[in-house]
Structure 1
Amino acid sequence: MSEPNYRFSGHESFTCRYAWLPKAVEALSSNPSLFSEIDEAMVQLGLGKNMVQSLRFWVQAMRVAEPGDGNHLRLTGFGKSIFGRDGLDPFMEDSSTLWLLHWQLCSHHDNPLFAWHFLFNRYNEPEIVRSEVLEAIDTESRQLARPLAKATLAQHFDVFMHTYMPTRGKKNEIIEDNLDCPLVELGLIERTGEKFNKKSVKEPVYGFNREPKPDLTMGVFAFAIDDFWKRCKSDEQSLSLSELTTGIGSPGQVFKLPEDDIRHRLSTMGSWGEDYEYRESAMFEQLVRVRNAYTTEELIEYAYEGDFANV
């Protein structure tokens, strides 16, 4: 299997902020070429040039929009279903929207965001310490066809962290909320302490929240299962508990769910009967797909129902 075409830049060092996606969807609905007209975009979106370019990056990274004809960006079915005129959550008031956007960021197969792909899937250290992670991703980048400058890697990692951790000022106070990425609300990364690094400089220590996520609805989980299945195991009629828990790009890795929570969720899905069957034995546990014809729109609607209903 060939090496993915990793992305390290395009965000212009900005995270995606609270009002950005609804603004972008409204603007693109009337003018698909907006982002190719920088001056017009700056006026219509009320953003500076670099922020406009950053927003163009994030609407595509979160699969809200995709390249169309010429320089156009067209809204995806996902983008329309959630943020459109009659969307399920146009102002991002439901936590399901945040979980879905997080999944979309982490589930690029051919051109993944490097920090998201590496840290959620392959970084096995219990602690996230900036100097240690930068050393690890520098080592990783040297194996790529085009090694990158350390400054580029550092900026990329910092954007990753600011996507999930609130911005703090020099006195460690939290800056106003609207400067943060909405995915901060998911609580996926937590500060756990501090330690001295190799240069005897004290650094903050972070870690992934690996506890059950009660606000992650079964509908969102089912959306992720279906998307992972189609992208990575499209020819398979069953997926093992191990694949869904620890596989690269799996729901277990992306959502940082413990195995027992995933097992419980899969058992619940198995009880839907007409949709999935969960098989459990002393040696093997797997989810079997019974129905294959789900549309993206159906699954997105289920994500906002709380419980995933049979149809």
Structure 2
Amino acid sequence: MNKLRFSGHDTFVVRTFWPKKGFDFINISGSFSSESAVVDLGVGKNMVASINFWMKALGLYDDEKKELTDFANNLFSSEGLDPFLEDIGSIWLLHYFLLKTNYASIYHLIFNEFRKERAIFNKSQLKAFIKRKYAEMDDNSLNLNTIDKDISVFTRLYEKVDYQNVSKDFEEEINSLMIELELISTTVEDEIKEGTNRREKVKWFHLHGESRNSLPPAILLFTILDNFGESRNIAIKRLEIEPNSPGLIFLLSKDGLYKKLKEIEEEFPGIIVSETAGNLVLVLPEGLNKWEILRNYYAN
């Protein structure tokens, strides 16, 4: 596993208009470290650093090659598929690349590993899990304050907005890139604090598997082709439990995944959901091109 990476966002969640803003800035050879970046991007100095971070975390900028990725160019160029993120399929794609890229460790860890242990959790339980991951990797660079900030950004990025109880950061909450996906729901319980007789409010986060009606079949197919490479016969079980599989990253229930795969079968001739001796397999024909599938999706 890659070295764990936390912080870099300056506690800002990525806002809906930042990916396009960051793409255009990089495309004209803008430098996030230059003094003019604040003026060029029209945001504060801390936000400049945050946009730089999110471009890498969302898989839009390759920090090793120092260039925009194919994904970024396909989506945000002047003739891009959806430069202003008007289609929810684009948000699902950005969510997928956030986990797959694993530049920001917390997202990959939560969806690929932590949820296998707990579908319902509080912040203390998530922090304990991250501390354990550091110990398993024999990494002594753990900073609990940094972890707290990452957990806060994660929950604000995905948590559905309660418009009746919004905070002073209302603008940030309603412009958070991922809230439209509705992947996290919350409840608040009145509980006795451990080791005391005092009661306190504890927020619980729910990552339940569902059908994800807003997830387009073409977007799901793109992620399967992207994640499973040249595989042409993929056991459905692999699509449920392997790292960055649709079952994990999109929080699809077993029935929800099967339903989505049948939608793919219906929409794309040659793709078959096969059952042999009780084993379900997704059979993909030769010649499928993930970028062509995306282009056709947005064209329609």
TM, length-normalised to structure 2: 0.87
Q: Secondary structure at the match of 2:136?
A: coil
AA aligned opposite 1:187: E
Aligned to 1:309: none
Q: In structure 1, what is the equivalent of residue 50 of structure 2?
A: 54
Runs of 4+ in 1 over 4 A off after TM superposition: 166-169, 271-275
CA contact (8 A) 2:75 2:81 kept: yes
Partner Cα separation in structure 2 for residue 156 and residue 68 of structure 1: 23
Which of residues 2, 14, 31 in structure 2 aligns to 1:34?
Answer: 31
| 8 A Cα contact 1:81 1:88, kept in partner | yes
Q: 1:43 pairs with 30, 35, 39, which one?
A: 39
2:273 to 272, 275, 278: 278
1:96–1:303: 8 Å Cα contact kept in structure 2? no
Equivalent of 1:152 in 146, 149, 163: 146
Does residue 1:13 correspond to 2:11, yes or no? yes
Distance 2:104 2:64 in 1: 21
Q: How many residues are aligned here?
A: 291
The C-alpha deviation readout for 1:211-238, integer Å capped at 9, x for no partner, is 21111101111111111102xxx5x432
1:131 aligned to 2:124? yes
1:248-287 mapped onto 2 (5 Å cutoff): 248-271=243-266, 275-287=270-282
- What amino acid maps onto 1:57 in structure 2? F
Query: Mind listing any 5+ residue stretches in structure 1 that lack a counterpart?
Result: 307-311
**Cα distance in structure 2, aligned partners of 1:23 and 1:133:** 32
1:92 aligned to which of 82, 85, 90: 85
Q: CA contact under 8 A between 1:129 and 1:206: conserved in structure 2?
A: yes
Contact 1:278–1:287 at 8 Å: present in 2 too? yes
Judge conservation of contact 1:195–1:205 (CA < 8 Å) in 2: no
**Could you say which residue in structure 2 is the equivalent of 1:105?**
98
Question: Which stretches in structure 2 are left out of the alignment for 5+ residues?
Answer: none
1:142 aligns to what SS in structure 2? helix
Q: Which residue of 2 aligns with 1:301?
A: 295
Tell me: CA distance 1:8–1:220, structure 2 relative to 1, closer, same or farther (3 Å).
Answer: same
Report if the CA contact (8 A) 1:194-1:203 is conserved: yes
Q: 1:264 to 1:187 in 2, by over 3 A?
A: same
2-structure distance, mates of 1:198, 1:55:
39
**Secondary structure of 1:34's aligned partner:** coil
Q: Is 1:66 equivalent to 2:62 in the alignment?
A: yes
